[in-house]
């Protein structure tokens, strides 16, 4: 099975990560993340759950067609119809893998599956054999493995490997395990399964007790060779093991773990920022590796030590993961060449059309702000690079609001080449403007979540608004950017409406 020290990174941001409460990504956003994961160098991308919805199927199919370096996999239950649908989505991939799963713990067998152990064993074997007819690379996951009876689990693992499984995943599905226990669990499976050397053992740990990364590393230390994780640790409930934390733990403590991974470390930070932006899940400042405070030192003793010798208080190099410490400002007199140079320093390569749009947005911002820094530039690029087509575009906004008056908004939206105007009132200026937008678009959204972030510092800082809008029975993430926070809020709302409209057009095709 190749180099026994090689660890394979299996990224499930687009499947388990998208199951984070409130996260909803469209096909284009999923493709952008998958292409960035390819640049990062992950070994396997779990692109979705094809039978779950038409949108999930289309996303897996699109990624399979366009992302060629990593293995592309889709999740499916141990049911033949699920496997058929998954293969239909994956069949154009350069390196496809069918990932099928079935619960093995007694609690799942009794209350969820209502099946006997014998029935589950037979179903698992049948699913793997059936998947092998389509695809040589088949992964089997024993759902709730960490709470399963070890003798029965060992029996299932041996049987699915005999049936042709190339990877066997042993997940801590509910985040119940602790590191010493989980490491011993993986070691015991190695001891009890005679044919275990014919498959790669994988771990997939959840973070309910805050131990997902620790458990995953314990699994790797006891023989596992694939680790399933998500960018920024997003996922069901408290999330998954964080991809960037796994990578940097293995890098920083190479002498201890003695495991090899193959990634482009310079892409870690950019990957984190992209996923945060598109999912609307803002990172806590003290998040390990990629949080805003991860490389900041406030204590005088720490600052003194770092100035004398960085290794006194820093165990990692910020530049290694793609954080550019050079933050020289640009201004309204900066040219297109200087702007493009800065973009490339930050890791963004735009085509001619994208560059022109970004440069015009930069010049517009530079007229409003005296100094434009790296955070501002990244925000501008993110605001345009992954947007859906703008069916509705804000061209005019006037707000009347104050302590003792009813907030009123007048809004003009461009729709194709026509401009429509409406006015409305609300409990506040943002609500009033959104009501006016509703009147023009005839699409009525409900704002469930609203986050305002300052990009950079100063009174003239850009305001970035990330909202979560419910339209019908679906949620859409909206994003807006402006030095005017009311305008940023309205742009965020319109962005969500554009996503809804675009999705409806795609479904009608």
- 403-415 pLDDT, tens digit each: 999 999 999 999 9
Average pLDDT of span 9-19: 96
* Domain co-membership, 109 together with 132: yes
**204 contact partners, CB below 8 Å, separation of at least 6:** 10, 12, 141, 169, 170, 171, 172, 173, 228, 240, 241
**282 contact partners, CB below 8 Å, separation of at least 6:** 276, 451, 453, 466
* Domain co-membership, 379 together with 483: no
**How many other CB atoms are found less than 10 A from the CB of residue 507?**
10
**Residue 243 near residue 36 (C-beta atoms within 8 A):** no
- 143-171 pLDDT, tens digit each: 999 999 999 999 999 999 999 999 999 99
In the DSSP assignment, the letter for residue 242 is: B
H/E stretch holding 48 reads strand 44-48
If one compares 374 and 490, the residue with the highest pLDDT of the two is 490
Average pLDDT of span 463-473: 92
* Domain co-membership, 238 together with 184: yes
Q: Is residue 450 pLDDT above 50, yes or no? A: yes
- 98-121 pLDDT, tens digit each: 999 999 999 999 999 999 999 999
pLDDT number for residue 385: 46
3-class secondary-structure state, position 437: helix
User: Which residues form the domain of 371?
Assistant: 324-385
Q: How many structural domains comprise the chain?
A: 3
pLDDT number for residue 379: 78
- 223-246 pLDDT, tens digit each: 999 999 999 999 999 999 999 999
- Residue 441's CATH number: 3.30.160.270
* Domain co-membership, 172 together with 206: yes
- Residue 137's CATH number: 3.20.20.70
* Domain co-membership, 350 together with 494: no
Q: Is residue 321 pLDDT above 80, yes or no? A: yes
pLDDT number for residue 35: 96
* Domain co-membership, 339 together with 486: no
């Amino acid at each position: 099975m190749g180099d026994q020290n090689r660890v394979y990174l299996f990224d499930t941001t687009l499947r388990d990560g998208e199951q984070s409460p409130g996260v909803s990504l469209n096909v284009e956003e999923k493709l952008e993340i998958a292409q960035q994961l390819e640049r990062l160098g992950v070994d396997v991308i779990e692109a979705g759950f094809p039978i779950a919805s038409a949108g999930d199927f289309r996303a897996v199919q699109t990624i399979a067609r366009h992302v060629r370096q990593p293995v592309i996999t889709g999740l499916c239950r141990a049911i033949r119809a699920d496997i058929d649908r998954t293969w239909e989505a994956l069949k154009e991939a350069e390196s496809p893998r069918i990932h099928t799963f079935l619960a093995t713990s007694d609690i799942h067998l009794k209350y969820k599956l209502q099946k006997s152990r014998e029935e589950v064993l037979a179903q698992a074997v049948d699913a793997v054999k059936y998947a092998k007819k389509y695809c040589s690379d088949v992964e089997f996951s024993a759902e709730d493995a960490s709470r399963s009876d070890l003798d029965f689990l060992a029996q299932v693992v041996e049987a699915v490997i005999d049936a042709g499984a190339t990877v066997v995943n042993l997940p801590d599905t509910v985040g119940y395990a602790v590191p010493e226990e989980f490491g011993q669990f993986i070691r015991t499976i190695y001891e009890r399964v005679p044919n275990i050397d014919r498959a790669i053992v994988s771990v997939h740990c959840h973070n309910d007790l805050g131990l997902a990364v620790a458990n995953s590393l314990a699994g790797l230390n006891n023989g596992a060779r694939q680790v399933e994780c998500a960018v920024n640790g997003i996922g069901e409930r408290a999330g998954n093991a964080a991809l960037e934390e796994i990578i940097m733990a293995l890098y920083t403590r190479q002498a201890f773990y003695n495991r090899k991974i193959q990634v482009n470390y310079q892409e870690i930070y950019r990957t984190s920022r992209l996923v945060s932006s598109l999912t609307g899940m803002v990172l806590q400042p003290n998040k390990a590796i990629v949080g805003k405070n991860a490389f900041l030192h406030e204590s005088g003793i720490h600052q003194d030590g770092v100035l004398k010798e960085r290794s006194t208080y820093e165990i990692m190099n910020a530049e290694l993961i793609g954080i550019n410490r050079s933050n020289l400002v640009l201004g309204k007199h900066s040219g297109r060449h200087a702007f493009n140079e800065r973009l490339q320093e930050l890791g963004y390569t735009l085509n001619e059309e994208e560059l022109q749009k970004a440069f015009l947005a930069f010049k517009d911002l530079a007229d409003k702000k005296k100094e434009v820094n790296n955070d501002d530039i990244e925000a501008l690029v993110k605001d345009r690079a992954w947007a859906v087509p703008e069916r509705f575009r804000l061209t005019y906004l006037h707000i009347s609001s104050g302590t003792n008056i009813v907030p009123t908004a007048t809004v003009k939206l461009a729709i194709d080449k026509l401009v429509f105007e409406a006015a409305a009132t609300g409990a506040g200026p943002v609500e009033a403007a959104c009501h006016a937008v509703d009147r023009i678009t005839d699409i009525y959204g409900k704002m469930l979540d609203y986050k305002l972030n300052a990009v950079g510092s100063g009174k003239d800082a850009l305001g970035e608004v990330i909202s979560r809008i419910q339209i019908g029975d679906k949620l859409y993430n909206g994003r807006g950017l402006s030095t005017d926070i009311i305008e940023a809020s309205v742009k965020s709302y319109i962005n969500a409406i554009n996503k809804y409209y675009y999705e409806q057009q795609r479904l009608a095709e």
